Amino acid sequence: MIFDSTFLLLIPAMLFAVYAQFKVKSTYARYGNVNARSGMTGAEAARKILDANRASEVEIEQIEGTLTDHYDPRSKVLRLSADVYNGTSLAAIGVAAHEAGHAMQDAQEYLPLKMRNGFLLPVANIGSIAAWPLFLLGLLFSIPMLMDLGIIFFTAAVVFQVMNLPVEYNASGRAIALLTSTGVVTAEESKDAKKVLNAAGLTYLAAAAMALLQLIRLIILRGERD
């Protein structure tokens, strides 16, 4: 990390990221204590959603950690943390439904998901690892080509973060619709479940904002060396 005047560009995104984390934790804690009237666990809710949408082949597994929930499109497995898998709260059910939403995206070949998990993910992984070493070496030894390569690699990581936004927000939208259509929650309860998912969405928005501002910062630093 380089600390200079351009670092000030990151402050708004950093503050937003802190707020997003606070919002997620406080919202999850609030609705983590509100049980759904159906009495279903997160795993049961996800199973009902998947079965009702012809995705019964998707398996559901319990994994360790907190909010480590994710859908693996390669193995067609929906993995839920213990609190979500066994929880009967609106927060747990909302998170489980969100991951089921990703399974629905996969089943319907949702283009942004295919792009994100296809060529963007490996490129972004390489970019996030190689970008800073290349740029810093170029900056320290005044090698413009290395700085340019660093910016190109980092741009790939930024594109991934931006492409991640429609994927995550679409999954949340699907989750709310699926929860109500399958009767897992009532229309009134769905409003509270939506608050949990909206709060989680802020973290993805904050990550994209941080990545974009970092890219702008690298471009400014590169321009100062011309």
**Those residues with Cβ within 8 angstroms of residue 114's Cβ, 6 or more apart along the chain or in another chain:** none
Helices (H), 53-186: 82-86, 90-107, 111-115, 121-140, 144-181
User: What is the C-alpha radius of gyration for the chain, rounded to an integer number of angstroms?
Assistant: 20
Tokens 């741009």 correspond to what residue?
A: 155
Look up 64 and say whether it is catalytic: no
Distances in Å between the alpha carbon of 156 and those of 82, 84, 149, 165, 214? 34, 32, 11, 15, 12
Are 127 and 156 spatial neighbours (Cβ–Cβ below 8 Å)?
yes
99, 109, 188, 189: the active-site residue: 99
Closest listed residue to residue 7, CA positions, set 188, 185, 217: 217
Closest listed residue to residue 192, CA positions, set 7, 35, 78: 35
Catalytic positions are: 99
